[in-house]
Amino acid sequence: MINFIKNRIKSSERLLKIYQNLIGYYPDNDQWCRIVMNRETKNMVQNLDYNTFSALEISGTDWSTFGFSEYQNVSYPNFDICFETLEEQFDIIIAEQVFEHLKYPYKAGLNAFKMLKADGFLLITTPFLLKIHPSPVDCTRWTPEGMLYFLEECGFSKDKIQTFGWGNRECVVANFKEWFPYNEKRHSLRNEPQFPIVVWALAKK
């Protein structure tokens, strides 16, 4: 009986993979909505003297192997950037898909500014046209223009802030149910500026 069940499971898994291949669904691929953003943010940091940088990543470890001279990360709830700062200052602070989940993003922005060295950088990425996804809460969205003024309010000079956005209607719809994985044969990376799914910025202190 156990072998019969195992065989049925294996058969179902094979059928699922066949179906996924037919519709171009590859669950292990990166999310479609993040492909351009991830590529562009990596390029932006690579154009800096990143290998001399001390880096702090907020709530993540994706940048741990990027090649910074020094790296550390902090995560909620052990560290709440809305109310806490570290004693150290950093050349770059990275907050990917974090600020939308903060109850007090303005306070967090001020604290990030405080933890940057002179001429340090804040790299921030957030969603815009994406469904609400509490972790543990989901509070805020910014357009590229809105992100510019938000970071200016947090202390950065307007002329030292670069903001960007990416999205298209097809990808917006694809993400209604889940974070849809990218298939380069089926999914367009064209940008429709009126439909930004993700927004990112690099601000210099």
Q: Between these two residues, 90 and 23, which has the higher pLDDT value?
A: 90
- The SS3 of residue 113 is helix
Domain boundaries 30-204, CATH class? alpha beta
- Tell me the average pLDDT across 152-167: 98
- Tell me the average pLDDT across 149-157: 98
The pTM for the full model equals 0.86
Q: Which residue has the tokens 């001279």?
A: 69
The predicted-structure confidence for 124-145, as pLDDT tens digits, reads as follows 999 999 999 999 999 999 999 9
Kindly tell me the burial class for residue 109, based on how many C-beta atoms sit within 10 Å of its own C-beta (0-12, 13-18, 19 or more). buried
The predicted-structure confidence for 93-102, as pLDDT tens digits, reads as follows 999 999 999 9
The predicted-structure confidence for 175-185, as pLDDT tens digits, reads as follows 998 888 999 88
The pLDDT, as a whole number, for residue 20 is 47
Evaluate if residue 7 carries a pLDDT over 60.
no
**Tokens of residue 153, six digits:** 């309010």
The pLDDT, as a whole number, for residue 14 is 54
Helices (H), the chain: 2-23, 35-46, 105-114, 144-153, 169-174
| 98 conformational bin, left if phi > 0, alpha if psi -120 to 50, beta if neither | alpha
The pLDDT, as a whole number, for residue 112 is 98
The pLDDT, as a whole number, for residue 68 is 98
Rounded-to-integer distance, Cα 56 and Cα 74, Å: 8
The pLDDT, as a whole number, for residue 3 is 46
The predicted-structure confidence for 19-77, as pLDDT tens digits, reads as follows 445 544 444 569 999 999 999 999 999 999 999 999 999 999 999 999 999 999 999 98
